[in-house]
């Protein structure tokens, strides 16, 4: 069933570290051979062996409209003959910036970059430059990219591979990175008191997506917002996953919370490598060339990436009903899964907000990294492979959110629920 993928993986390991260019793709957490994808269309992936899968990764979030969405593909094709890069300003960069500012609350200025990692790294540097302070607070299990500061008690692939200490991250960087359990506001307040006047920024995923989908407790984000205001700390929302996915204005709109700086990726590029960071003019004007906090990139504002992102965001802005459809599809999936999980008597937790959802084999609520890590990963492995064998492509890690795309049909979701029922039966045998 996976012969060609196995051959390609063996070949890849001869020239690529671990055979993959991003660690979670190696299937180390779930075992088996990673799939090598040849093409995708709509809600479906097709691997090198010709197998078809219903996709619940959506390229880890950006393919919100579905793969190879015709207007996006057409826009890229029309732009490509004009060259793939200039290293100079274009009108299109202005248009996408204006579009983002019109969609997102509390963003006055925005700087385009090439990845979510770069966006978060730049936002932290800006916060430090703006405040003149060095320390940051992040949350255990949250993943903000692979910049040094963010690999302290990180989620996503770091959690999946059980890497507790990352070689190459210096003691100085670690000392400036303070960590707390997500959803523990009192612990953050204690840190702020202990390091009063030293903390430049608090960065958080508003809805965690890198240890499964984990929602903020009522009052948690609001408490962080107030603490940052009181202590002159820059409040950064990492909306690389949630931005333009949970609502046209992202988590800021969906959860009615206002950050000082926001970072973006995923959907903002329509499948191309794009990131961005933006926020209040008072802070953003410290970025060069307006200010002295330096950030640059040859491919920032790349025209092909910009047209893919602009086309995607314009569709989302002009068709807000897409979010209602995605919410309904995800809730339908959740309810269907719950029915068969309840019948199976297997302990479970399903967390969901908008088109983000995750399944945890656990008998206790999943509210932070510790509770996510204590779930039964052996059961998840069995569930993952049973679903894969039935043509359902889930994230190959218990520490990742699933992302629905709007090309999914009711028939696709019904089949997914039926596959889950069979998978639970297999686990129980």
Nearest to 109 by CA among 266, 262, 292: 262
List 143, 182, 264, 348, catalytic entry: 143
H helices of 13-150, where? 70-79, 91-103, 116-131
> Cα 358 to chain center, whole Å?
13
Active site residue 28: no
Q: How far is CA 112 from CA 218, 274, 310, 414, in A?
A: 32, 7, 12, 39
Q: Coil, helix or strand for 48?
A: coil
Q: Where are the alpha helices (DSSP H) in 144-249?
A: 157-160, 171-175, 185-194, 220-231
Query: What CA–CA distance (Å, rounded) separates 140 from 168?
Result: 19
Q: β-strands 109-113, 275-279: how paired?
A: antiparallel
- In the residue annotation, 49 being an active-site residue is answered as no
Residue 56 CA to residue 406 CA, distance in Å, equals: 11
Name the catalytic one among 47, 55, 176, 238.
238
Please, is 334 exposed, middle or buried when counting C-beta atoms within 10 Å of its C-beta (0-12, 13-18, 19+)? middle
What is the phi/psi pair of residue 237, to 5°? -100, 120
Name the catalytic one among 266, 310, 323, 412: 266
Q: Is the separation of the CB atoms in 423 and 417 below 8 Å?
A: no
186 catalytic? Reply is no
Catalytically annotated residues: 143, 238, 266
């Amino acid at each position: 069933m996976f012969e060609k993928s196995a051959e390609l993986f063996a070949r890849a390991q001869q020239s690529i570290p671990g055979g993959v260019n991003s660690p979670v793709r190696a299937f180390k957490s779930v075992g088996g051979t990673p799939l090598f994808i040849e093409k995708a269309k709509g809600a479906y992936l097709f691997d090198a062996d010709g197998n078809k899968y219903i996709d619940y990764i959506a390229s880890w979030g950006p393919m919100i409209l579905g793969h190879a969405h015709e207007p996006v593909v057409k826009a890229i094709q029309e732009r490509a003959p004009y060259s793939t890069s200039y290293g100079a300003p274009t009108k299109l960069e202005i248009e996408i910036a204006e579009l983002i500012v019109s969609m997102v609350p509390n963003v006055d200025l925005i700087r385009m970059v090439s990845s979510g990692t770069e966006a978060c790294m730049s936002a932290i540097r800006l916060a430090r430059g703006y405040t003149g302070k060095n320390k940051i607070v992040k949350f255990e299990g949250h993943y903000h990219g692979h910049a040094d500061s963010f690999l302290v008690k990180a989620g996503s692939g770091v959690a999946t591979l059980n890497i507790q200490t990352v070689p190459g991250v210096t003691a100085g960087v670690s000392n400036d990175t303070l960590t707390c359990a997500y959803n523990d506001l009192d612990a953050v307040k204690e840190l702020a008191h202990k390091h009063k006047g030293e903390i430049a920024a608090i960065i958080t995923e508003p809805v965690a997506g890198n240890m499964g989908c984990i929602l903020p407790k009522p009052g948690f984000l609001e408490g962080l917002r107030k603490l940052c205001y009181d202590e002159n700390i820059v409040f950064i929302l990492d909306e690389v996953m949630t931005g333009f996915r949970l609502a046209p204005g992202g988590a800021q709109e969906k959860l009615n919370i206002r950050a000082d700086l926001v970072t973006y990726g995923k959907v903002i590029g329509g499948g191309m490598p794009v990131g961005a960071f933006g926020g209040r003019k008072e802070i953003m004007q410290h970025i060069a060339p307006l200010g002295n906090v330096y950030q640059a990139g040859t491919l920032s504002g790349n025209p092909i990436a910009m047209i893919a992102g602009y086309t995607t965001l314009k569709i989302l802005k002009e068709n807000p009903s897409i979010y209602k459809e995605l919410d309904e599809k995800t809730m339908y999936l959740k309810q269907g899964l719950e029915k068969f999980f309840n019948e199976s008597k297997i302990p479970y937790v399903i967390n969901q907000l908008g088109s983000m959802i995750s399944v945890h084999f656990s008998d206790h609520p999943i509210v932070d990294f510790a509770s996510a890590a204590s779930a039964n990963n052996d059961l998840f492995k069995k569930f993952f492979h049973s679903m894969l064998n039935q043509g359902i492509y889930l994230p190959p890690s218990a520490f990742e959110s699933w992302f629905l795309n709007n090309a999914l049909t009711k028939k696709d979701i019904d089949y997914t629920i039926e596959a889950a029922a069979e998978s639970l039966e297999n686990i129980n045998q």
